[in-house]
Each structure stands twice: as structure tokens, then as C-alpha cells.
Structure 1
Amino acid sequence: MSSVFDCRDEAQLLAGMRHARQAIARGELIVLPTDTVYGVAADAFAPAAVRRLLEVKGRGRSQPPPVLVANQSALAALVQSIPEPVQRLVDEFWPGGLTIVLPAQPSLSWDLGDTLGTVAVRMPDLRLALELLEETGPLAVSSANLTGKAAAVSAADAQRMLKDGVSVYLDAGFSETGIASTIIDATSLVRRGPDDPTEPRVRILREGAISRQQLESIIGDLLEPAPELAPEPERGGESLAEPDPSSDGTA
């Protein structure tokens, strides 16, 4: 049976945070508010808990969850390196609605799914979430909804979809923005050797809380140009536009 705590009430907030920490330590799932949408969270270093997170959402290993961290130091511990342009983005937009994909630190013992050696990391701009992350360490966090459904903007939304698959729900009212984070891929900025032919570019995987214009203002031409719109199909033909695989899943 799930427990729900109204974190707008100081007494329930303290109890809820304690129960959430204990649930994470037991390898269970929790739902927490963030500055974007509600997220469902598991200990990032507990493979069984991460598998449970994917199962509850109805996702496979091909859609690994991002990781939320409490500070920039935690980012440095999770990734292979932080290129200077990425550091500029972090300084400008963290804490906030920017998720950054980088090569993961190869020495880490975890299993987030089929990540191809990368990790998506974000520092949320919400005191409750940051205080919990300080206590638990990095959490694997995906939007608190069933795959294919709209992201949850309240704990009640999340509970209707995830039900007793989650042990603890932390309710802080409706999310402030209801807009998911922007996801960027900065892996090409980390060179794999002196002969690496990859052109260093930052690619937007999903535009959300942080706009393309905001990103351009910080890193300029390093941002990959916006893709051209697909041409209109001929009458009776099929659309050439591909669905966005990252439209769901990141808090």
C-alpha cells in the first residue's frame, strides 16, 4: 500500500522525507515533485530498483532513465569529463530545466539500461528535491507517468497511473511549470582520442524548459542547427516526419 504525504504541511513534509529516504534505501520507488514535472525515482546504483522503475512505467532497457543530482560535484563524479562549453551551460542553467547527456564515468558500478556508455544528468531547481538528493545521492528519475501518457503535473496524476508500484508519493501541489526539461546531447564534445573525427556539436534531443535561443546565447555555433522541416508528403503518401522518441520520460 502506497503512502502519500502532503509536503505543504510541515509535519507531513518531515515524515514524507523520512519515508522517502527509507524507501530508496530498501530499493523501492518514490514519486517526488521537481521544478518541471513530477518524477518517479529509484536509487541510481540499485539495478533491481531501476529495472522496477522501467517496469512500472512500461518501458524497456532501450529507454534508460536520466539521473538527478544535488550539485555540480555529483555531475563531475558521474561523467567522464565536463567540457568547457558544458560547464558554461551548467553555470547558466543549473539548477534548472536542462538535462545533459555525456559519456559516463566508466568506473561506476550501475545499470541504468542500454545507455551506450552515456548518462543524462540534471540538477532540479526545487528545494525539496535537492534536500532529498543530498540525503540519498543520485537518483534515477523518469517522468511519473505510464509511457505514452501525459507527464504528471501533480502527485494525484502520478498515483492514478503508477498506483501501488510506488511506495511513497511526495505531494507538493501542482508543478510550477508543467514543462519537461530540455535534453541535449553533448557527448561529441568529449574527444575519444587525438584522431577522433567527430565534429564537436551539441544536439537538442528534446526542447522543453530551456529554449534553443537560450542555449545559443551561451554556446553559439557549437549548437547544432535546427533540423529542416520535413517536406509535405504527396497526396495519398505517408508523412516523412519521424516521431520524437524522447517526448516522454524525463522529469
Structure 2
Amino acid sequence: MTQVSLENLIVGARAGLLVSFLTDTVPALAAIPEKAALIFAEKQRSQDKPLILMAASAEDLWPYVKGSKNEYKVWQELANKYWPGGLTLVLPASERLPKVMNPIDPTTIGIRVPNSAIAQTILAQTGPLATTSANFSGQPPLQTMTEIEIQFPQILTLATTEYQSEIPGMGIPSTVAKWTGINWQILRQGAIELDLSSDNQV
């Protein structure tokens, strides 16, 4: 039985163990950034598919990216509009980001703040976590903690009793927008319909 209390899940994540919890999109498989290799191994995920760095607030994520003053302004405007929510921004990575997060191209990183009380509670106490959907690579995302517990019995999953008041995620992965240096490129259309008007450019 790997379903654990919120407190034990947070302790486990801080200690470098793989954990799983609900978000506003699909349930996450997560680890501290330095232990991201565990996620690739567990999911049987190709090294060229980077993970997403998820945090409780945008302020926790900005140190992991780098850009010009103008770029930060554009990024923050979009983040302020859609976060917390189902939007992942792919931005140039700073030196602070462990290379295991994106082994093939450590120069970029996807970042997101989920619109989920339980996820934010966890992330506020663990700090930013490397995340991806909870499933074997190439298969549909698992939608419940019970499914995850069956498929990944050795991972710490959040006990059902801990999130009974939580609204279930929409079951659709986040929209992914990549910064090209001058504007945004949609890599995946997902949970959020993005309005990329001209004011989101440098």
C-alpha cells in the first residue's frame, strides 16, 4: 500500500522519493529536480522529452530561467494572465536548473503553477518539483490515484482521504507555449486556449 498522508508525501518528496498527486490538469508524477532521472526511468521515457518544473508560485520559478529585462516582462505578463492554471511556458534555462531535468537540451525548461489547492500545498513545502503525467511513456495519462497506485506500486501516492474536497483535474494536459526569442510558439494545445496577441512579443 503506497497511499500516504499529505505530510508523509511531502517528507518523501523532500527526501528524493518519487511521489504522485493531483493537479488541475492530470495527476503528476514528481520528484525534486536533482532526482529527475528517477522519473525518466520509472516512465520509460525518452531522454529527449523534458520534464516540467512545477511550483506553488511564479516567484519560485523565475530563478530557474534567464532572459533580458524585456523578455521577463513579456513572460510575467503571460504568467500573470494564466497562472495558476493549465499553461506551461518553455523558456531559456538558468544555470540553477539541474541538467537531468532536460538531458538532451538543458538550455530550456518548461515551468508551470497549477491551479490546484492540494498541489500548491505540496509544492509550497517541497519547493519546485520536476513533474510529468503519471503513466508509462506513450500511454494515456492515468486519471486517479488508485490507477497510479496499481501501475506504479512503489511510488508514494496521496491517500484519497487527503483530497476529498478537491475538484478533480480536467484530465487534459497543459497547453505548452515556447518562447522563440521574439514571440510564442504553441507546442501543444491543451487545457488553456491561449490568446497570443501582439502584446506578448518583444
Q: TM-score, normalised by structure 1?
A: 0.71
Q: Distance in 2 between matches of 1:210 and 1:25?
A: 30
Match of 1:88, SS state, is helix
Aligned identity (percent) is: 27
CA deviations 1:49-95 (Å, max 9, x no partner) are: 21111111011321121110111111211111353222221111000
Root mean square deviation of aligned Cα = 2.0
Q: Distance in 2 between matches of 1:168 and 1:222?
A: 38
Shifted more, 202-211 versus 54-63: the winner is 54-63
Query: What displacement does 1:170 show?
Result: 4.4
Match of 2:153, SS state, is helix
Alignment correspondent of 1:197: none
Query: What displacement does 1:114 show?
Result: 2.1
Q: Distance in 1 between matches of 2:60 and 2:83?
A: 13
Aligned residue pairs, count: 193
Q: TM-score, normalised by structure 2?
A: 0.87
Match of 1:111, SS state, is helix
Gaps of 5+ in 1: 6-15, 190-199, 224-251
Alignment of 1:63-142 (within 5 A): 63-81=49-67, 82-112=71-101, 113-142=103-132
Match of 1:215, SS state, is coil
Alignment correspondent of 1:159: 149
Match of 2:13, SS state, is helix
* 8 A contact 1:146–1:162 mirrored in 2: no
* 8 A contact 1:101–1:184 mirrored in 2: yes
Quick one: structure 1 residues 107 and 78, their matched pair in 2 at CA, closer, same or farther if it must change by over 3 Å?
Answer: closer
Query: What displacement does 1:221 show?
Result: 7.6
Query: What displacement does 1:109 show?
Result: 4.6
Which has more radius of gyration? 1
* 8 A contact 1:19–1:168 mirrored in 2: no
Quick one: structure 1 residues 155 and 107, their matched pair in 2 at CA, closer, same or farther if it must change by over 3 Å?
Answer: closer
* 8 A contact 1:41–1:53 mirrored in 2: yes
